[in-house]
Amino acid sequence: MRFKILGADRETRARCGEMETPHGKVKTPLFMPVATQATVKTLTPKQLREIGTEAIICNAYHLALRPGEEVVKGMGGLHHFMGWSRTIVTDSGGFQIFSRNGLSRVSDEGVEFCSPFTGERVFLSPERVMEIQSSLGSDIAMPLDHCVTHPCPREEARQAMLRTHRWTRRCVEAGLKPAPAQALFGIVQGGVYKDLRLESAWGLVELGLEGYAVGGLSVGEGRELMLEVLEYTAEALPWERPRYLMGVGTPEDILDAVALGVDMFDCVLPTRNGRNGTVFTRKGRLKILNSRHKEDPRPLEEGCQCYTCSNFSRAYLRHLFLSGEILAMTLLSLHNLHFFQHLMRDVQEAILTGNFGQFRKTFPTSQEEEREGRKEMALWTS
Amino acid sequence: MRFKILGADRETRARCGEMETPHGKVKTPLFMPVATQATVKTLTPKQLREIGTEAIICNAYHLALRPGEEVVKGMGGLHHFMGWSRTIVTDSGGFQIFSRNGLSRVSDEGVEFCSPFTGERVFLSPERVMEIQSSLGSDIAMPLDHCVTHPCPREEARQAMLRTHRWTRRCVEAGLKPAPAQALFGIVQGGVYKDLRLESAWGLVELGLEGYAVGGLSVGEGRELMLEVLEYTAEALPWERPRYLMGVGTPEDILDAVALGVDMFDCVLPTRNGRNGTVFTRKGRLKILNSRHKEDPRPLEEGCQCYTCSNFSRAYLRHLFLSGEILAMTLLSLHNLHFFQHLMRDVQEAILTGNFGQFRKTFPTSQEEEREGRKEMALWTS
């Protein structure tokens, strides 16, 4: 997989690049909407394209359990199955298995867990996870990783990191990287321990992978610690390959991570928030159910070019949400994803024109304040 | 409101016409998707336009309770509020009040009932219902009607019919028809009693309304009785004004009613069925959850030009539905509504080219069989 750096910021490690996958060119820094079950919740591929989405991320583990990767393969692969003709990344499912399945049993062979759909015991080996992703035919595949939650004792984090490394090495050495055109990334683990993170990064880099993900962050360690770990981890990864911070995050998290040299992001936040009525704007988040929107003729965000903001008032969207109408979820998800895609385009441009520092500085900190929920009233009554 | 008959069938009373409302020309026979709460469930106005939707029907009673017609008016009226720039019909809500609200109390003044949203007692008079629809600014308004369920004793049906008539007359005589550009229809009641239906029709025709609806059908009387009542009722209505059969129906119901001279229809069937996984095709209905679709690469309906059929397999749609993904509801609703719009266009063309009889005869009767649920297995395993 080709990755070309088009420009870099002079003050930070931020860079703007271009990845070329079998399904097109993708500009970085990149935000990928989450399509765990082969759909970005509530939205059609057409709607995703219209807001400028270039890549999405699906989950190999979920799709192997349902509908089964052989079904997807039989339909011509994941792109054809879900009607998405651009880049698809598939996550292995390690995070999902370890974080949501207390009953998983892990050994060097792989991991055994209960299917959340049928309750049956399922066994996944690192080799099997490669096989699944090969059948799905994604553009970028992730190896099975052993994730730990936070807080995690050092020795446990070390064992999980070493196991992740052994698993990845096994796949690479057995030539088990997915289909020829697919790229295989490595996933750096190691909890919040600097020496473990560096050992993990160096070990994976030795394997010569096509990109490097940072896993096991944003799992409860808090924002400051996350950025601290990310800083030394990203620095240990090669400049010339894409870096992917998994499962992150808020607009502010993304801006800070971009400044540390991260190129790729994915997060359920814009769609999940859309479904529960929380809207991203550059002036902060807003809750559409708030009664102050009852007769508000303004769009969610003034000046926003998305379909939702071009056609509907806050009053209408609040009415839909209050009435339990599914269209509310669709329209809010659409706006939120547009917000993230628009943010990434602005970030790319800011890096290329040497204005990233300025952009970041002037990006409203109200985001943070609203996230903490402390100044919401003050923000929205002013 | 202008209504021009473009052509009529020679064997039946079917005709193809064109209504001109303040928001555009609408060809009949017409099917209107239901947008009770100011949204056709799960779909954007853009998606509705793309499948050729020319008119929708909203509910004055629902919108008066939530968000309140003054809110809608404040947003520039219903068209602007919901982002729909074509024709809107508003139902009065009589049907909803009487059929779903056992605790309603009716007198000549109007009807008192419990708000399904707040439990509060609400009073609606025929005058108030006009006022609501005037605020909403719909293109066609319906008067408050007293609906009875089936079976209904003759005297009860007669009182309800006479009351509906008195209510409508009161509005017309007080000049309470909605805003000047709006059209006001009458609603024929009278249960399944021929003399009552004729009395109702004649009484309303005397008021010189702009269109005539047939209410109180498809409420449990069965298909044969419905068509029998519809036949003499439609015949008693003036040829030169549009006739509207409220709340109907299946494709077969629509074809039969068109043959009896009906021009307008509305029904929740395509969207409700879409949301519960039932799909209309010209070969009969299919249940997307049926395991026989698990690896079926075909679209819902071969040859269908809708977005869903152009992009997705039955296997994918089944996967979405099984996974509880909202996109399944959207895509199935979209196909089903496209099916209805396409059917109406075919009906219009068949009437204009003198082929309506033939079209009706060759329209698959499997629809009926599947509706009864008896031969489903036979149909879909063959």
B323 in contact with A, Cβ within 8 Å: yes
Determine the residue of chain A that is closest to B76 in CA distance. A297
Q: Which of B38, B42, B330 is opposite residue A319, by nearest beta carbon?
A: B38
Confidence of residue B31 (pLDDT cuts 50, 70, 90): very high
Stretches where chain A sits below pLDDT 70 are 101-102, 177-178, 365-382
Inform me whether the C-beta atom of residue B66 falls under 8 Å from chain A C-beta atoms: yes
Does residue B157 carry a pLDDT above 80? yes
A320 contacts in B (CB within 8 Å)?
37-39
Lowest mean pLDDT among A200-204, A364-368, B229-233, B276-280: A364-368
Q: Is B101 on the interface with A (CB under 8 A)?
A: no
Domain-embedded: residue B253:
yes
Burial class (CB in 10 A: 0-12, 13-18, 19+), B175: exposed
Whether residues A262 and A283 fall in one domain: no
A379 found inside a domain = no
B332 & B252 share domain: no
Q: Are residues A248 and A360 in the same domain?
A: no
Q: Which of chain A's residues have a Cβ under 8 Å away from the Cβ of B46?
A: 307
Residue with tokens 């009969």: B284
Q: How many CB atoms lie within 10 A of CB A239?
A: 12
Q: What is the pLDDT of residue A365?
A: 66
Whether residues B92 and B117 share a domain: the answer is yes
Instruction: Check whether residue A29 and residue A152 sit in a common domain.
Output: yes
Hey, of B79, B288, B319, which one would you mutate to test binding to chain A, going by the most A CBs within 10 A of its CB?
A: B319
Predicted pLDDT at A177: 66
Q: Domain range holding A302?
A: 274-372
DSSP code string of A151-205: S--HHHHHHHHHHHHHHHHHHHHTT--SSTT-EEEEEE--TT-HHHHHHHHHHHH
Last residue of a domain, one of A267, A294, A313: A267
B108 included as an active-site residue: no
In a domain, B374, yes or no: no
- Which residue among B91, B253, B256, B263 is the active-site one? B91
Is B266 considered catalytic here? yes
Cα torsion B36, B37, B41, B47: sign = positive
Confidence check: pLDDT of B370 > 50: no
CB contacts of B315 in chain A (<8 Å) are 67, 71, 74-75, 81
User: Cα–Cα distance between B42 and A333 in angstroms, integer?
Assistant: 13
Please report residues of B whose CB lies closer than 8 A to that of A38: 316, 319-320
Inside any domain, residue B380: no
CATH of residue A28's domain is 3.20.20.105
Whether residues B293 and B340 fall in one domain: yes
Residue with tokens 């057409």: A46
Residue B314 lies in a domain: yes
Question: What is chain B's mean pLDDT, rounded?
Answer: 93
Among candidate residues A267, A286, A303, the one where a domain is terminated? A267
pLDDT digits (tens, 9 = 90+) for B2-30: 999 999 999 999 999 999 999 999 999 99
pLDDT surpassing 50 at residue B371: no
For residue A219, the SS3 value is coil
Structure tokens at A299: 């769009």
**pLDDT on residue B56:** 98
Six token digits for residue A96 = 């999902």
pLDDT band per the 50, 70, 90 thresholds, residue B378: very low
| Residue A281 Cα, gap to closest chain B Cα (Å) | 21
In a domain, A331, yes or no: yes
Residue B98: band (very low, low, confident or very high) from pLDDT cuts 50, 70, 90: confident
Query: CB–CB of B278/B268 below 8 Å?
Result: no
Which of A247, A267, A287 terminates a domain? The answer is A267
Nearest CA in chain B to A334: B44
Residues A259 and A325 in one domain: no
Find out whether A364 and A27 touch, Cβ atoms under 8 Å. Answer: no
Nearest to B74 among A76, A295, A307 (CB): A295
pLDDT for B177 equals: 66
Q: What's the number of domains chain A is made of?
A: 2
> Which of A81, A326, A331 is the closest to B326 by Cβ?
A326
CB contact under 8 A, A39 and B315: no
Chains A, B: CB pairs < 8 Å: 112
Token pair 């529960």: residue: A276
Q: Is the pTM of this model over 0.90?
A: yes
3-state helix, strand and coil shares in percent for chain A, rounded to the nearest 5: 45, 20, 35
Residues A247 and A359 in one domain: no
* Same-domain pairing of A118 and A187: yes
Residue of B45, B295, B330 with shortest CB distance to A71: B295
Return the SS3 of A142. coil
Mutate which of B58, B73, B75 to test chain A, going by most A C-beta atoms within 10 A?
B75
CA of A109 to nearest chain B CA: how many angstroms apart?
A: 29
CA closest to B326 among chain A residues: A42
CB of A46 within 8 Å of a chain B CB? The answer is yes
Find the helix or strand (DSSP H, E) in which A357 lies: helix A356-362
Q: Do residue B298 and residue B332 come from a single domain?
A: yes
Asked if residue A151 has a cis previous peptide bond (ω within 30° of 0), the answer is yes
Facing residue for A83 by CB, picked from B66, B294, B312: B312
Mean pLDDT of B166-192: 90
Has residue A192 been placed in a domain? yes
Q: How near does any CA of chain B get to the CA of A79, in Å?
A: 11
Residue of A51, A69, A75 best to disrupt the B interface, most CBs of B under 10 A: A75
Tell me, yes or no, whether B250 and B304 share the same domain. no
Put simply, the answer to whether B42 touches A320 (Cβ < 8 Å) is no
pLDDT digits (tens, 9 = 90+) for A65-105: 999 999 999 999 999 999 999 999 999 998 988 877 567 89
- Give A-chain residues touching B45 at CB under 8 angstroms: 311
Q: Do B46 and A82 touch (CB under 8 A)?
A: no
Closest partner CB to A294 (pick from B43, B67, B329): B67
Residues A143/A92, Cβ–Cβ less than 8 Å: yes
Same-domain pairing of B343 and B242: no
- Cβ-contact B15, B261 below 8 angstroms: yes
ipTM: 0.94
